[in-house]
Amino acid sequence: MEKELICIVCPRGCHLTVDTEKETVKGNTCKRGEVYGLNEVKNPTRIVTSTVKIDNCSNMVIPVKTNIPIPKGMIFDVMKEINSVSITLPIKVGDVIIKNVLGTGSDIISTKTVN
């Protein structure tokens, strides 16, 4: 079975054809495209970016993200976890907000420093 997708690893946007049975990729112009294509059909993952509420501040949030990609199928569950927490200031870039979110091995970290 073949799947067609567009590579997002670099700005070229190669049109890939991935044969899921033979585990081959056509259309890539670099090795990274081949790796991306195979991973995307076997086990797609994503970095999640969002915001977290700040305690006692009704209209302020802090930007956060996963420090490593998580399985694509877990995005909505991870978002529920992110939306259920709030933080107190001060916070620095890289501070862990949620450790090992839902057992994914990924931490939710701050991407902004606020005193």
Between CA 42 and CA 69 the distance in angstroms is 14
User: Would you state the pLDDT for residue 96?
Assistant: 97
Residue ranges in the chain assigned as alpha helix (H) = 31-42, 75-83
pTM of the model: 0.82
- HSE, side-chain direction, 13 A CA sphere, residue 37: 27
Sole residue written with tokens 């930007």? 63
Q: Using one digit for the tens of pLDDT, what is the confidence trace for 46-88?
A: 999 999 999 988 788 999 999 999 999 999 999 999 999 999 9
Delineate the domains of the chain, giving CATH numbers in brackets: 2-42 (no CATH), 49-110 (3.10.530.10)
